[in-house]
């Protein structure tokens, strides 16, 4: 398949009932040669255009490529409903995303003892723009970090941690972050708590 063939296939699939977003797409420069970066950037641009064409949210994967992700999103005029999944950036980077109208999603990484940067970022994100995810099968949260594989049931540990970090009850955090996800993905209101 060529890149255009792959994007055409994604476009056909994205038009199917039940599809709620384009993604995860974006840039991952971890262990990537320069030629691979160019191909990722081209594909990323195509996915952004597809999300806009279909009026679907965009779910971003950004690993060691934050400045380029932001530059491409600005260049292409990304949809306002854009979320950076498995966010691992700084509080300043999170604020930059929020200033662009984007959402930020956190995994069990925020619970890790050495995840000071992730915790500072989570504190910077208001709950109405925050989502919680597992990023299964990896990154099980503390205190079950050694459990492999990760699973959705373990997300409760991440929610508890984030609730305490933000001075909220788990119910408040769950309700507000679920409402954010319902709004973001355009789900029926009955999906919210």
Identify the pLDDT of residue 32. 78
- CB-count burial class (<10 Å; 0-12, 13-18, 19+) for 132: buried
DSSP 184: H
Torsions phi, psi of 37, nearest 5?
-65, -45
Identify the pLDDT of residue 34. 76
**Pairing mode, if any, of strands 103-106 and 22-28?**
unpaired
Alpha helices in the chain (DSSP H): 3-14, 34-54, 66-76, 91-99, 116-124, 155-166, 170-185
Identify the pLDDT of residue 80. 84
Of all helices (H) and strands (E), which one includes residue 58?
Answer: strand 58-63
Angle between helices 116-124 and 155-166 (to 10 degrees): 70
Instruction: State the pLDDT confidence band at 157, using cuts at 50, 70 and 90.
Output: very high
Instruction: State the pLDDT confidence band at 18, using cuts at 50, 70 and 90.
Output: confident
Instruction: State the pLDDT confidence band at 117, using cuts at 50, 70 and 90.
Output: very high
pTM > 0.85: yes or no: yes
């Amino acid at each position: 398949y060529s890149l255009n063939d792959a994007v055409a296939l994604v476009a056909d699939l994205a038009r199917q009932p039940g599809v709620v977003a384009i993604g995860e797409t974006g840039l991952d420069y971890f262990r990537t040669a320069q030629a691979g970066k160019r191909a990722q950037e081209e594909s990323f641009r195509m996915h952004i255009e597809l999300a806009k064409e279909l009026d679907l949210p965009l779910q971003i994967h950004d690993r060691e490529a934050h400045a380029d992700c932001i530059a491409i999103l600005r260049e292409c005029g990304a949809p306002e409903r854009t979320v950076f999944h498995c966010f691992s950036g700084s509080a300043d980077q999170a604020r930059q995303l929020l200033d662009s109208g984007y959402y930020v999603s956190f995994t069990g990484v925020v619970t890790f003892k050495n995840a000071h940067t992730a915790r500072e970022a989570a504190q910077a994100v208001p709950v109405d723009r925050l989502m919680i995810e597992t990023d299964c099968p990896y990154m099980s949260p503390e205190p079950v970090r050694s459990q492999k594989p990760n699973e959705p049931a373990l997300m409760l540990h991440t929610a508890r941690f984030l609730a305490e970090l933000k001075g909220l009850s788990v119910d408040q955090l769950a309700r507000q972050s679920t409402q954010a996800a319902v709004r973001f993905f355009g789900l029926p209101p009955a999906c919210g708590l």
